[in-house]
Amino acid sequence: MYESLRQLIRHSLTGEAEAVFAAMDLAFAIDLCKEEGAGQVELLSGGVNIPVTPLNVYEYVRKYAEHRMLVVSEQPLHAMRKGLLDVIPKNALEDLTAEDFRLLVNGCGEVNVQMLISFTSFNDESGENADKLLQFKRWFWSIVEKMSMTERQDLVYFWTSSPSLPASEEGFQPMPSITIRPPDDQHLPTANTCISRLYVPLYSSKQILKQKLLLAIKTKNFGFV
């Protein structure tokens, strides 16, 4: 939604704005999907007959966002609140800020590598000697430490289906693990997000490990193995 509305604003500032808006044929009305109750809702009185133009697009964006984010969501949010208070006493939440609650629910947005290291266990299926396995672990964590924050979030998402770490160890169930597969420079790492397990072949070099890992996390596809 954000990107679509942003593009509308950008289109309104171009030299071809009038033609673009005429082609889009938008009005001050929203067609609701089945989950939202279906039908059509006017954002203004008589909105179905009011075309969106470069001159009124800001009002349209404001009304559209307000309806999608507040009006449509009001009933589900009330239901969520009721359900939450059924299992958590209201006084247990009174001292929490919105940020505190977000951290409890979503975890930390910043992926702390040392925290991830402390959470993670390794399983060996490669059959290689201890020195090679230790070298591989060092390669892996060295690569992760040098990743950008976005790449770390992509890695954790690929690995666990969540782009963030929980606020505490108790929130990480199951705990993350890495299974080292037999030597193979051809295949990409895969993951089973249901059990937070990453499967990585024992690549022959740190550079190959880095290339394969970055390629795998960019696809955001999970290989159930």
Q: What residues are labeled active site?
A: 194
Question: Which two tokens mark 45?
Answer: 């009185």
Report residue 191 CA to chain centroid gap.
Answer: 16
Note the maximum CA span of the chain.
Answer: 75
Peptide bond into 174 cis (omega under 30): yes
Query: Rounded distance, CA 141 to CA 176, Å?
Result: 14
Query: Helices (DSSP H) in the chain: which residue ranges?
Result: 2-12, 17-24, 57-66, 72-87, 90-93, 98-106, 113-119, 130-145, 149-160, 206-219
Strands 40-42 and 29-31: antiparallel
Query: Rounded distance, CA 151 to CA 163, Å?
Result: 10
